[in-house]
Chains A and B, each alone.
Chain A
């Protein structure tokens, strides 16, 4: 118990609060500047969804942590808040505002933690008339091996691209399959074979008209890395086939194993849903005589056989569809206004910010309201005594 007490007091100190806030400011500032170079997603991972900022030691593969990351700063701030309340705040009505305010803050930090761990963001591209029951990740790819032998369903083996490293052998659980990764390009360009500098230049053949060559990863906001992999599938340790697949050539390759039809493809990671959306019509209204978008809207049809849903609805800017724990937002469009891009978000902690913000605002108004009230009374008293 003594040990906890000696830890407790500094944890509850105001100095620590200020230090944490200042560290947060440094993180936010440096992270924002770095975004220009590495993009928002990467900056989020390095600065805010991390435990420390690392400085690589040149010439080695090691990196030295030199500054706490978002999780540490947020975590310490959270504990500091809780500790401060437990240690120092004797409850009084005068302090109600601050208590409510800090409660809101605690809830907000916890909520953001939940979000950062559990949130899954994906996108759904629908051409006019197309019906899909899955969304795709904007960042992650997967190697998908699909067993199409059953008449009513497909069995999909999904291997995340983070597992695809040259020379690795991946055991697929529950099956006799193993996948051997012969080569992997995190980012590649697809070119005509005639444009290779020499026939021996390292490349992966995707077809008679296209090969993939490795290029550096891109961090630009609107560019996506095109991954290419050369894999061999082993069935009961016997090779069943070798292919080069690329997310730039999304058409799957068909093959057979033991008489059963299979497909293999490297594609954006898919998140399947028990219901499907079909794009009926996409509208892109522009202001007269300009190309400035006035609004976008997608008329979609939602079909959910399990819940007996089959209805039409509209998704447009500032008006998303919330269904089955997912939220679908109108994010963009493509293909000369014939394709809609919906942002799909799964976030169990979605409501927490609302509650915490309500608490924050209430606490602030209480606290400053009381301040202002007392101040006004003092000034009134001062002017009364002066006159």
Chain B
């Protein structure tokens, strides 16, 4: 009885744990309601996002954890750190969020002293950079003179550091001029100074006697806010009266300068000023009330802008892809164990957990599509998510047909690895970023890109099955000819799919290129990479049809296909030429080389002869005959 119920109880427990992780966050009852603040919409990088995303993206550009951990393993919620940066910058300047990895750069900043004294010696606070700021700027400018492809590690990292510092400065100046002792008072004073100041300017221009003090005061304010407007990055202030999307969000500097024209302070400025004052005075109730009032104001004036940021803030917190990764690991364990004992039960458990993981994976994908308003694959990050999804989907069918646990194992591996790759790609900035003009076409994004991604999925799946073949083959006793044939058929079937998807995807890409740039094929690195995948899959099929390879040969060729696909997917980005260069990744290069080396090793193992599976004692002829007729 327990044996029957235990697996379901386990699955239910897992589902319950999932649900708890994905519930909307509850804020601390007595403290500041950072959760609600995190939902406030602002315009950054051309799209409206919640403050929570701003915090996470900014941190991910500063250190590779994307977190602020004053105490190891106890990260502060990103949004709490951001509030400090925007409202209490003098305190935030002490937070150690900037990570330096390059040893030369560390030396430049006095890292060798820190190594003995500090636990996290390569994490710096803004204060610790202050004596070096001009040096960093000088070095970064020098580094930028060199060609992007030939920069060394030091140059790349110093440019990255300088950009992170610039981002930090801009964040500090997003809601108020940094270092303003009391912003609320300041804008009150500013509002009062405007009418008299403008009058003074008019009088002066007309040559009449004018109020010198008022003139100078307004000039001071103007200068201050013009400087402030130089730090544009977060556009936090909605302008409901703006006629179209381009003017709807303003930076604080612009909003304040607008006061000169309109003679009144934007309500949004007032709301944020109240927020800042409440926070600086430690007034949690006041802070929360101000957030709530501001949200009501937004709902009245710009109602359309709230839905997506709310959803995105929840999505950041729920992190369905991270939960799915955990589930995939569980699936893997259950599926492998199912080969050793409790085959049916564990296989069922693995199947259900896989389904749960797939639902999470799909849900995350669909949410991203809604948030971005685009088909699922728009950049490298989303391509990783989708390739994993496609592979898992194919594996679901595989398991349904063959029912031998291999489908589950492949799904778990593919799902986990691709989500892990995606997680690491997240550290380049905003994954929901706006698309460049040339990509601004949903039709081709939905067809060409998706089909090519499915081509990657299936080629990787074939390669994964090939790896399983190679490893399984080493366990000679249990590697029956049936298993070999079964695996061989699986690989062949998946390679057929891979050929179909990659050829159709490449063709669609050619048609898109012809419609957009006037040529069907331009020998662009990404195009060439796709062509290589098509050619290799075609070679596998032709080799099999010609009888030149059998099951082992196909498996090894499929493993080689992994190398080609990974080069096409990531290697082409590292070349930095052509229309397809979306980003340059440093550590990824080493990972790629390691992966390729690993596949080559596996191919080598596969080529080695293994001890034959034949019987250890001579067989009597009658027995042999009996076996033959079975």
A interface vs B, CB < 8 Å? 14-15, 17-18, 21-22, 24-25, 28-29, 31-33, 35-36, 39-40, 43-44, 48, 112, 115, 119, 121, 221, 285-290, 292-296, 317-318, 320, 327, 329, 331, 343-345, 347, 350, 353-354, 357, 360-361, 364-365, 368, 371, 375, 379
Q: Is residue B521 within 8 Å, beta carbon to beta carbon, of the partner chain?
A: yes
Complex: A379 Cα to B535 Cα, angstroms: 30
Flag if B437 contacts A296 (CB, 8 Å).
Answer: yes
Which residues of A are found within 8 Å of B576, using beta-carbon distances? Answer: 36
Flag if B46 contacts A288 (CB, 8 Å).
Answer: yes
Secondary structure of the B side of the interface?
helix
Q: Is residue B520 within 8 Å, beta carbon to beta carbon, of the partner chain?
A: yes
Beta-carbon contacts of B509-538 to A below 8 Å, as 1s and 0s?
Answer: 011001111111111110011011001101
Which residues of B are found within 8 Å of A36, using beta-carbon distances? Answer: 149, 575-577
CB nearest neighbor in A for B506: A357
Complex: A21 Cα to B548 Cα, angstroms: 15
Restricting to B430-466, which residues have a CB under 8 Å from any CB of A?
434, 436-438, 440-441, 444
In the complex with contacts A18-B548, A221-B577, A353-B503 CB distance below 8 A: no
Flag if A287 contacts B434 (CB, 8 Å).
Answer: yes
Which residues of A are found within 8 Å of B521, using beta-carbon distances? Answer: 112, 353
Which residues of B are found within 8 Å of A347, using beta-carbon distances? Answer: 518-519
Flag if B507 contacts A290 (CB, 8 Å).
Answer: no
Complex: A105 Cα to B531 Cα, angstroms: 14
Q: Is residue B578 within 8 Å, beta carbon to beta carbon, of the partner chain?
A: yes
Which residues of A are found within 8 Å of B539, using beta-carbon distances? Answer: 18, 21-22, 25
Flag if A28 contacts B46 (CB, 8 Å).
Answer: no
Flag if A318 contacts B523 (CB, 8 Å).
Answer: no
Flag if B518 contacts A121 (CB, 8 Å).
Answer: yes
Q: Out of A39, A343, A364, A375, which one reaches B503, CB within 8 Å?
A: A364
Complex: A253 Cα to B410 Cα, angstroms: 71
CB nearest neighbor in A for B235: A289
CB nearest neighbor in A for B508: A357
In the complex with contacts A28-B532, A290-B45, A364-B500, A345-B519 CB distance below 8 A: yes
Flag if B232 contacts A289 (CB, 8 Å).
Answer: yes
Q: Out of A40, A292, A327, A329, which one reaches B434, CB within 8 Å?
A: A292
Complex: A342 Cα to B336 Cα, angstroms: 58
Flag if A289 contacts B503 (CB, 8 Å).
Answer: no
In the complex with contacts A35-B578, A318-B516, A288-B249 CB distance below 8 A: yes
Restricting to B144-180, which residues have a CB under 8 Å from any CB of A?
149
- Known A32-B529, A289-B233, A379-B401; further 15 A-B contacts with Cβ < 8 A: A24-B535, A25-B535, A31-B523, A221-B578, A285-B246, A289-B46, A290-B46, A292-B46, A295-B440, A318-B516, A320-B515, A345-B519, A347-B518, A353-B514, A357-B507
Shortest CB distance A321–B (Å) = 11
CB nearest neighbor in B for A22: B539
Q: Is residue B499 within 8 Å, beta carbon to beta carbon, of the partner chain?
A: yes
CB nearest neighbor in B for A317: B437
In the complex with contacts A31-B523, A36-B576, A288-B248, A357-B511 CB distance below 8 A: yes
Which residues of A are found within 8 Å of B575, using beta-carbon distances? Answer: 32-33, 35-36
Q: Out of A221, A329, A371, which one reaches B496, CB within 8 Å?
A: A371
Shortest CB distance B491–A (Å) = 14
Beta-carbon contacts of B236-278 to A below 8 Å, as 1s and 0s?
Answer: 0000000001111101000000000000000000000000000
Beta-carbon contacts of B534-573 to A below 8 Å, as 1s and 0s?
Answer: 0110110011011010000000000000000000000010
B interface vs A, CB < 8 Å? 43-47, 149, 232-233, 235, 245-249, 251, 401, 434, 436-438, 440-441, 444, 493, 496-497, 499-500, 503-504, 507, 510-511, 514-525, 528-529, 531-532, 535-536, 538-539, 542-543, 545-546, 548, 572, 575-578
In the complex with contacts A25-B536, A288-B249, A347-B519, A361-B504 CB distance below 8 A: yes
Which residues of B are found within 8 Å of A292, using beta-carbon distances? Answer: 45-46, 434, 436
Which residues of B are found within 8 Å of A32, using beta-carbon distances? Answer: 523, 525, 528-529, 572, 575
Complex: A14 Cα to B548 Cα, angstroms: 10
Complex: A364 Cα to B437 Cα, angstroms: 33
In the complex with contacts A115-B520, A119-B519, A371-B496, A360-B507 CB distance below 8 A: yes
Which residues of B are found within 8 Å of A15, using beta-carbon distances? Answer: 546, 548
Complex: A50 Cα to B354 Cα, angstroms: 51
Which residues of B are found within 8 Å of A43, using beta-carbon distances? Answer: 523
CB nearest neighbor in A for B245: A288
Complex: A102 Cα to B624 Cα, angstroms: 47
Shortest CB distance A381–B (Å) = 13
Complex: A286 Cα to B46 Cα, angstroms: 8
Which residues of A are found within 8 Å of B507, using beta-carbon distances? Answer: 353, 357, 360-361
Which residues of A are found within 8 Å of B47, using beta-carbon distances? Answer: 287
Flag if B441 contacts A318 (CB, 8 Å).
Answer: yes
Flag if B523 contacts A287 (CB, 8 Å).
Answer: no
Flag if A364 contacts B577 (CB, 8 Å).
Answer: no
Complex: A287 Cα to B503 Cα, angstroms: 34
Q: Which 9 A-B pairs have the closest CB atoms?
A: A287-B46, A345-B518, A293-B437, A14-B546, A290-B46, A357-B507, A353-B520, A32-B528, A295-B437
In the complex with contacts A329-B516, A354-B511, A357-B510, A289-B249 CB distance below 8 A: yes
Residue pairs across A and B with Cβ atoms less than 8 A apart, 14 shown, are A14-B542, A31-B528, A32-B528, A32-B572, A48-B523, A112-B521, A115-B519, A119-B519, A288-B249, A289-B232, A294-B434, A327-B518, A365-B500, A375-B493
In the complex with contacts A44-B523, A353-B511, A293-B46 CB distance below 8 A: no
Flag if B43 contacts A317 (CB, 8 Å).
Answer: no
Which residues of B are found within 8 Å of A327, using beta-carbon distances? Answer: 518
Which residues of B are found within 8 Å of A353, using beta-carbon distances? Answer: 507, 510-511, 514, 520-521
Which residues of B are found within 8 Å of A33, using beta-carbon distances? Answer: 575
Which residues of B are found within 8 Å of A317, using beta-carbon distances? Answer: 437-438, 440-441, 516
Flag if B46 contacts A40 (CB, 8 Å).
Answer: no
Flag if A329 contacts B517 (CB, 8 Å).
Answer: yes
Which residues of A are found within 8 Å of B46, using beta-carbon distances? Answer: 286-290, 292, 294
Complex: A25 Cα to B522 Cα, angstroms: 16
Shortest CB distance B230–A (Å) = 14
Give the one of B511, B518, B524, B529 with max A CB within 10 A.
Answer: B518
Which residues of A are found within 8 Å of B233, using beta-carbon distances? Answer: 289
CB nearest neighbor in B for A352: B520
Which residues of B are found within 8 Å of A365, using beta-carbon distances? Answer: 500
Q: Out of B436, B515, B522, B528, which one reaches A318, CB within 8 Å?
A: B515
Q: Out of A21, A35, A320, A354, which one reaches B538, CB within 8 Å?
A: A21
CB nearest neighbor in A for B571: A32
Which residues of B are found within 8 Å of A329, using beta-carbon distances? Answer: 516-518
CB nearest neighbor in A for B46: A287
CB nearest neighbor in A for B433: A292
Complex: A22 Cα to B537 Cα, angstroms: 11
Flag if B518 contacts A343 (CB, 8 Å).
Answer: yes
Q: Out of B149, B251, B532, which one reaches A25, CB within 8 Å?
A: B532
Shortest CB distance A317–B (Å) = 5
Flag if B504 contacts A364 (CB, 8 Å).
Answer: yes
Complex: A36 Cα to B574 Cα, angstroms: 10
Shortest CB distance A101–B (Å) = 9
CB nearest neighbor in B for A293: B437
Complex: A368 Cα to B517 Cα, angstroms: 32
